[in-house]
A and B are shown apart, each in its own frame.
Chain A
Amino acid sequence: AQSVTQLGSHVSVSEGALVLLRCNYSSSVPPYLFWYVQYPNQGLQLLLKYTSAATLVKGINGFEAEFKKSETSFHLTKPSAHMSDAAEYFCAVTVSGAQKLVFGQGTRLTINP
């Protein structure tokens, strides 16, 4: 069975600082990995996804993530945080033959002015 662990339920950074949100996955077969963002009282919006084409994946709003098989990680980064990045971020995994996305518990990102 697949699982996702997001380290840090709450991350706070200053505007302009590096954003790093951590995600580790568990899967016995090659995974497909996703990062979604959820703004207050809204659904989930796809930021980016990994499907084995390239280990460094670029997404929307300046975010990117790197797939590291040896570390079973898929951390999300952004070089310079904006106030508009404040939201809840979810990492999710699925595998071939599975119907469902398995989500982590989420990381709430706060941006300090």
Chain B
Amino acid sequence: ETGVTQSPTHLIKTRGQQVTLRCSSQSGHNTVSWYQQALGQGPQFIFQYYREEENGRGNFPPRFSGLQFPNYSSELNVNALELDDSALYLCASSLAGVGETQYFGPGTRLLVL
């Protein structure tokens, strides 16, 4: 059974640029959630995708957008990068349902200069 994978592992961008982060969900999982973890903080929910549709969103601006593909993999896109976007971005996959466990990938560390 393959776990959640994310790419790239590290990324450096400059302010104003755009970035795409990728996530492959664990085998059998149909739901993907994205979180932002700033240094020294707990993860903050960005949004969730289920069956290729956004299924809930946290308090993040529209320049944070996502996609889910038929194989349940997902992308997180961030436009017009700001310095405060520097963080660890975590992807989690799960089954759909109440109280289902979310399994996390290793994350992508984004640095915006």
Using a CB–CB distance below 8 Å, which chain A residues touch chain B?
4, 32, 34, 36, 41-46, 49, 51, 90, 92, 94, 96-106
Task: Jot down 5 A-B pairs with beta carbons below 8 A, ordered by A.
Answer: A43-B4, A92-B42, A96-B99, A101-B92, A103-B42
Interface 1/0 per residue, B82-113 and A, CB below 8 Å: 00000000101000001101111111010000
Chain B's closest residue to A51 (CB) is: B99
Residues of A within 8 A of B2 (CB): none
Q: How far is the CB of A32 from chain B (nearest CB, A)?
A: 4
Residues of A within 8 A of B106 (CB): 42-43
Chain A's closest residue to B99 (CB) is: A32
B16 is an interface residue with CB less than 8 A from chain A: no
A99 pairs with B43, CB closer than 8 A: no
Residues of A within 8 A of B103 (CB): 46
Cβ-Cβ contact count across A and B, 8 Å cutoff: 59
**How many residues on B have C-beta within 8 angstroms of the other chain's C-beta atoms?**
26
Using a CB–CB distance below 8 Å, which chain B residues touch chain A?
4, 6, 33, 35, 40-45, 48, 55-56, 58, 90, 92, 98-99, 101-107, 109
Our pick among B41, B45, B48 for the contact of A105 (Cβ within 8 Å) is B41
Given known contacts A32-B98, A36-B104, A45-B104, what 4 new A-B pairs fall within 8 Å (CB)?
Answer: A34-B101, A43-B106, A90-B42, A96-B99
Known: A32-B99, A43-B104. A100 touches B42 (CB 8 A): no
